[in-house]
Structure 1
Amino acid sequence: MRIAIVGPAHPYKGGGVAHTTELAHRLRDAGHDVLIESWRAQYPSFLYPGQQTVDTPDGAPFPNVLRDLDWRRPDGWVRAGRRLASADLVILVVLSPVQVPPYLGILYGLRRRTRVVALCHNVLPHERKPYDAPLMRALLRRVDGVLAHSEPQAALARGLGPAPVTVAEMAPHLPAALRGRGEAVRAAGNGASGGNGTSSEDGASNEDGTSSEGGATSGDGAAVANRLLFFGLVRPYKGLDLLIRALPEGVSLRVAGEFWGGLEETKALVAELGLTGRVELRPGYVADGEVPELFADVDALVLPYRSGTASQQVWLGHEQGVPVIASRVGTLGDHVTDGVDGLLVEPGSAEGLRAALSAFYRPGEPERLRAGVKAVDPAPYWASYLKALVRD
């Protein structure tokens, strides 16, 4: 089957790029002839305040990519549609409603000569604007099918258009550079470096389980750092402010990721709460090669999201060998086994999150949860995903 994926590819960055690229690789490996129709210019800068492109690709680039689309050139949208009309399937990767005008131009150029599926990472954004629903309604009324990553997202799609909606959980698409530790854990049967996938660190233990360096130690010598990690793109719905307010006494926090606004407000909140010495802010894009160092000396990844759909973050934390403390939103609650490889909390409450973090730091609990961490196996997820997406 000839398949065209219209979506972002390198030099763009982020989860959408990683997913689009991995999807292309998987479809090609399944025997399909695949093209990625990507962007010369994707978003106006005022709509995307972060760094849009990078020099080093996240993962292995796909070899068959055409970068001709430009949000400033509607004539190119229609031209792309005419060019893609020979495909058997066109997949429109929907990351934001602002992509809809170019996609409508592509659909006009296609003139219904091939099947079109809207692959919706989010049917509607977490932080919505008045034009989001009308734009998505215009798109979903003109496609032949919709792929959503959860039942709640599917319900949104059904309310916006008549196209049949298929649900498939978003498959793991972590770059290979971030999968090494998880694959080692899986190959060793949950046993690389001391039985829990962590490297050993020296540290004498006091009677209460704390080390003479100030951190608790596990039975295999791995030290508890009394440090948590918040990692990824920082937006209001992800609840960083809740985490800062919930930080237990004696525990520090590392925040690493690109801020979509709110950096100065975050600094002010940290200062207001007297946490300047305990909250480390590393604003900016984090390249794949820098990720393992961020996780090397933390006890857990914390995902205090107020809302959520599909996310790779739990899998990322587990691939790095750390437990995850997450809100019961979107797929976060599906990926964390509460009390086994992490803890789950109800969203939106700093008090509830503080209670969970305090419970996490009970003597022996960080080590016990770390020992329960296992890496995800992507193969079955991708088999189901491709089956849902491609109909011969």
Structure 2
Amino acid sequence: MAVDSSPLAPIAVPITPPATLDLSLDSPAAEPRLKIVLVEFLPSGGMFQFTFLFGEALARQGHEVLLLTGPDPELRSNTPGFEVVELFPTWHPNVDPGGSALRRKARRLGRAALLVESWRRAIAFFRRVHPDLAQFGELRYPLDSAMLLLLARRSPETGLVDVAHNPLPYDVNGRATAVEKTGRLTRSLLAAAYRACDLILVLGEGPRTSLLTAFPRLGRVAVCGHGDYSAVLATEQAPPPSSAPANALFFGAWTKYKNLPLLLDSFELVRLQLPQARLTIAGPVMPDVDLESITRRAEQIGNVDLRPGYVPMDEVAALFAAHRTVVFTYTTVNISGSVHMAYTFGRPVVATDVGSMRDAVADHVTGRLAAADPAAVAAAMVEVLGDPAAADRMGAQAQQHARSSASWASVVDKAVPAYRAAVAAVRR
């Protein structure tokens, strides 16, 4: 969507909070319900979906939850106690009108101005509304870290929580070889912002280790995990993997750390053993990926269907149903929401054994882990694509994992005790 980068007029943030958030004091009780405001500036995509599903699960357990986001959010709530509020003048992250380099630069500047205004509105909101907790997602930019520090000073009575999806944010905009943002300003502000938080949530033991290795003097850190997508996607009638032909799917943003060249090299070897196999690569293209190069390589290999662009949620079920396995040839990873989406649809995963992928994929149980080289990935893909019974067995276990260990109820069960400890510390 096009973004107007003209100067922004200040808006008045309502003094009266939305009706969902009852700010009256709870009567003394062993386990009072919490008042939680979630903030996700961008109103669609994986981070928004994560935050929305987290909020729904919290509300189902009796807590009062608001989600502050941008215009026309991808998901809307019908869950009592959970309200989505369109407060920010932000944009949909996976809608990029393209244009010249100068036009793209102007759009980035315009979006930076919108993000500044969004933080201004968030800080004004929390100065008027005093929930128990304010929870933010990934601190992508130095601006986010600086503004969180300002919020910590302005609203000391509210506990601050950050969900560190990637303890060091990934750089998906530049063409540098480094995956993580490593600039001195980024790192110093991020360290200060993490220290200002009353609680940091991470999605697995691997990310927890990464966080504490990079920032060793942090306070309260808790593992909450990642939930499945059954609450917002029609999965009840998901066919078994064997019902699909020998098709493999890559699903998610096309960015350098997801290593699409390795995926294509691997699939070229797969076709030597399974000539009928097909590969679909679906998702939005990030600026750090050379789409023309990917397109040329796909044409050389054959049987590769490229689907650049955001996949609307009402098309996701059919896309997964048409594929027997989902493949992730990442260079590094903390926790991938796309893995949990594959599990939601009962699809086994083939993934490179890097980063924290072992936190999500049980080898020979919910999928296959392989070394990050074409021959190893190809062998794992052939094993799943060429054996429908094995694909069904691993897919069923993947779906069971999503419904039990990776349910949103289990995420909330882990998060709430940490929330209560953070609130108690703030009130001391």
Taking structure 1 as the reference length, what is the TM-score of the superposition?
Answer: 0.76
Per the alignment, do residues 368 and 58 of structure 1 end up closer, same or farther by CA in structure 2, a change over 3 Å counting?
Answer: farther
User: For 2:419, which of 383, 389, 392 is the aligned residue?
Assistant: 389
* Inter-CA distance 318–104: structure 2 relative to 1 (3 Å threshold): same
1:176 is matched with: 231
Give the equivalent residue in structure 1 for 2:92. Answer: none
Give 3-state SS (helix, strand or coil) of 2:87's partner: strand
In the TM superposition, what is the alpha-carbon distance from 1:136 to its structure 2 partner? 0.8
- The aligned counterpart of 2:259 is 239
Instruction: Say whether residues 1:128 and 2:180 are aligned partners.
Output: yes
Is the alpha carbon distance of 1:72 and 1:366 closer, same or farther for their aligned partners in structure 2, counting shifts above 3 Å?
same
Q: What amino acid maps onto 2:128 in structure 1?
A: R
Tell me if 1:353 matches 2:377. Answer: yes
Please report how far the alpha carbon of residue 95 of structure 1 lies from its aligned counterpart in structure 2 after TM superposition: 4.7
Deviation at 1:246, TM superposition (A): 0.7
Establish whether residue 102 from structure 1 lines up as the match of residue 127 from structure 2.
no
Matched, 1:255 2:281: yes
Task: Out of 91-100 and 21-30, give the one that drifted further.
Answer: 91-100
Report what 1:7 is aligned to: 39
Q: Deviations over 1:149-169 (max 9, x none)?
A: 233433443343644232324
Q: Which amino acid aligns with 1:153?
A: P
| Alpha-carbon offset, residue 125 of structure 1 | 2.0
Query: Aligned-pair distance for 1:286?
Result: 0.5
Q: Is the 8 A contact 1:171 1:385 kept in 2?
A: no
Shift of 1:338: 2.0
Q: State the distance in 1 between where 2:410 and 2:34 align.
A: 23
Distance 1:161 1:83 in 2: 34
State the shift of 1:113 in Å.
Answer: 2.2
Structure 1 residues 22-101: aligned runs within 5 Å: 22-39=53-70, 56-57=74-75, 62-65=82-85, 67-68=87-88, 70-73=114-117, 75-84=120-129, 86-98=130-142, 99-101=144-146
Q: Hey, what's the Cα distance between the residues in 1 that align with 2:139 and 2:78?
A: 21
Matching of residues 269-308 of structure 1 within 5 Å: 269-271=297-299, 274-275=300-301, 277-308=302-333
Task: List runs of 5+ in structure 2 lacking aligned partners.
Answer: 1-32, 90-113, 171-178
Q: Distance in 2 between matches of 1:155 and 1:282?
A: 35
SS at match of 1:13: coil
- Of residues 179, 201, 225, the one that matches 1:147 is 201
- 1:330 Cα deviation (Å)? 4.6
Q: Quickly say closer, same or farther: Cα 1:173–1:82, change in 2 above 3 A.
A: farther
CA RMSD in angstroms, aligned pairs only: 2.8
- In 1, Cα distance between equivalents of 2:44 and 2:378: 33
- Partner amino acid, structure 2, of 1:317: A
2:240 to 175, 185, 198: 198
Distance 2:152 2:50 in 1: 22
Q: Which residue of 2 aligns with 1:268?
A: 296
- Unpaired runs of at least 5, structure 1: 41-53, 186-196, 200-221
Cα distance between partner residues in 1 of 2:77 and 2:246? 31
What is the CA distance between 1:228 and its match in structure 2?
Answer: 0.9
Point out the structure with the larger helix share.
Answer: 2
Size of the aligned set, in residue pairs, is 335
| TM-score, normalised with respect to structure 2 | 0.70
Contact 2:255–2:286, Cα closer than 8 Å, also in 1: yes
Whole-angstrom distance in 1 between the partners of 2:45 and 2:77: 11
Instruction: Indicate how the Cα distance of structure 1 residues 64 and 2 shifts in structure 2: closer, same or farther if over 3 A, else same.
Output: farther
For residues 91-141 of structure 1, give each alpha carbon's deviation from its aligned partner in whole angstroms, at most 9, with x where no partner exists. Answer: 22225234223323322321x223222221111123223143122112012
Residues 1:337 and 1:72: Cα distance change in structure 2 (over 3 Å):
closer
